[in-house]
Amino acid sequence: MEIHHLEEVKLKFGQGVKAYDPRKGLLKGGPYGPSGNEDQLDFKIINCGVIATSPYIAKTRHFIEKISFGFDANSTTYGDLGFPGLGKRSPLLFSLKVLKQWEEKILDHEIRTIENISDKNQRKNKLFEIIETKIQNIVQVDPPPHLIFITLNEKIINLFRRPGIYSDDIIFANRNYPDSVYESEGDIDFHNIVKILGMKYDIRTQLLKPTTLTFEGTEDQVTTSWNLAVGLYYKANGIPWRFSEFENDVCYVGISFFRDFSEEEVYMNSSMAQVFLHTGENYILRGDKFQWERTKRDRNPHLDEGKAESLINKIVDLYYSKKNTYPSRMVIYKTSNFHPEEINGFYKNKGKIRDIDMITIIDRKKFRLYRHGNYPVMRGTMISTEERKRCFLYTYGYLPPMETYPGMKVPSPLEVKQFTGNADIKKICKEILTLTRLDWNNIKYCQKMPVTLAFAKKVGEILSERRSEDISNIKIHYRYYM
């Protein structure tokens, strides 16, 4: 074995600023641009609707005011630079605006109606009926807002709280136990269904928990504000930051599989692809449904040759529609091994693309590497093996640019296996490192998995909901799923 350290690549922000830390880049250069144009740094007003009880509409407005004023630095990992606030004096170059015409109140008698329903499925359906009506009312206002805040009070949350579990998350079923999902009529997660309702009416949504409004959640005021700010900016068609060094003619694809609960067939699955261009633009494609039954020899879903060819052609068509050419190289990521029939199907693509790196990435939680000193292994540490196409990569660890390790446990690496392609394994790992830094839903330096797979997993969980069948054409932009 050999150990290497891969150099970090800076991200690109407004005014040509490059930085490792997203916060420093935003503070110095502002966001990359409202539409991905670093030179177009006009101030942006994000119009926001609110669905909540009357007291919680007031709390949401107060919450926005506090964030807009900003917060001083604190001693937490992501709080040491403070939060600059919002408005024309802020380097973030946007503000949040709520008008009464975009407010929809959840009324006391509506809560009593939900409370008086004893059947849990009818109670749940009534809640979504009320929320859907209010979303519809807001989007019919001319002009509609860019996005809608949805906040449930404690009384509503308690009506759906699972026995013995204190959480603001409303979960109706366990997706790992299909019987419980069918008992809940295919509804699994309140958050996911709200995203589906938003897509149905072409509006982005943002859930706010009661503990978020009072800054009593798991993160401090500064970190909470940063996370919300970059997420809302992206939802409103902005680009907070982008890659600074990616090849122009490469297409990066994450493929995941999900159990399709819109179908009664027990073994029905679907595939989906998260497609990234070199700019950071990303798109969602849903593959064909297929039957698969887990066995001892075959624990993970995979595509047959025909389904693989169909999915890759959808990806190639999308790329061509955006670039007016086919990619010269594709990188396809999965969290399971590539089967021969998948490989053959992907190579049958209509663009006749032969330079395809098919990469399996597995989180190896039991693998540990230790080093001398107070901090763990550095992010970017790569451990090569005797197999030229296989290595271990630390995407999470000590961060030299921040001079800290933002975790609580000893980090573990990702196992990277290259099934096809001619790219050097170091190049493959450098691309993975960069792709762990494009989560616009928070301000953290990185996440463990590349966004090609992390986003694909989250989108798959939303599309697995039965109600996703209510959408004739799913949205291809990740903004709707965050």
201-214: per-residue pLDDT in tens?
A: 999 999 999 999 99
CATH topology of domain 246-480: Nucleotidyltransferase; domain 5 (3.30.420)
99-135: per-residue pLDDT in tens?
A: 999 999 999 999 999 999 999 999 999 999 999 999 9
The b/e string for 5-39 (b: 16+ C-beta within 10 A; e otherwise) is: ebebbbbbbbeebebbbbbbbbbebbbbbbeeebe
Alpha carbons within 13 A on the beta-carbon side of 324? 0
**In whole angstroms, how far apart are CA 282 and each of 7, 276, 279, 425, 444?**
25, 4, 9, 24, 20
Q: What DSSP character marks residue 373?
A: S
pTM: 0.93
Label residue 359 by pLDDT band (50, 70, 90): very high
Mean pLDDT of 378-390: 90
Average pLDDT of the chain to the nearest whole number: 91
CB 466 within 8 A of CB 185: yes
**pLDDT value at position 293?**
65
Annotated domain spans of the chain? 12-235, 246-480
Share of the chain above pLDDT 90, in %: 71
**pLDDT value at position 297?**
65
157-195: per-residue pLDDT in tens?
A: 999 988 777 788 899 988 888 788 888 998 999 999 999
Q: Which residues partner with 418 through β-bridges?
A: 359
- Cα 286 from Cα 270, distance rounded (Å): 8
Statement: residue 267 has pLDDT above 80: no
> Which ranges in 44-161 belong to alpha helices (H)?
54-69, 108-115, 120-139, 154-159
- Closest by Cα among 135, 137, 113, 136 to 125: 113
**pLDDT value at position 168?**
84
In this structure, what token pair is assigned to residue 194? 């709200």
**pLDDT value at position 62?**
98
**pLDDT value at position 451?**
94
Return the sign of the alpha-carbon dihedral for residues 132, 137, 140, 141.
Answer: negative
Q: Is 4 helix (H, G, I), strand (E, B) or coil?
A: strand
Q: Is 282 helix (H, G, I), strand (E, B) or coil?
A: strand
**pLDDT value at position 429?**
97
In this structure, what token pair is assigned to residue 423? 């790219």
In this structure, what token pair is assigned to residue 410? 């000893």
- Cα 271 from Cα 303, distance rounded (Å): 8
44-88: per-residue pLDDT in tens?
A: 999 999 999 999 999 999 999 999 999 999 988 888 999 999 999
DSSP letter string over 317-348?
A: HHHHHHHSS--SEEEEEESSPPPHHHHHHHHT
Statement: residue 136 has pLDDT above 70: yes
Mean pLDDT is lowest, of 303-312, 331-340, 467-476, for 467-476
Mean pLDDT of 461-469: 89
Statement: residue 260 has pLDDT above 90: no
Label residue 229 by pLDDT band (50, 70, 90): very high
33-44: per-residue pLDDT in tens?
A: 765 555 556 889
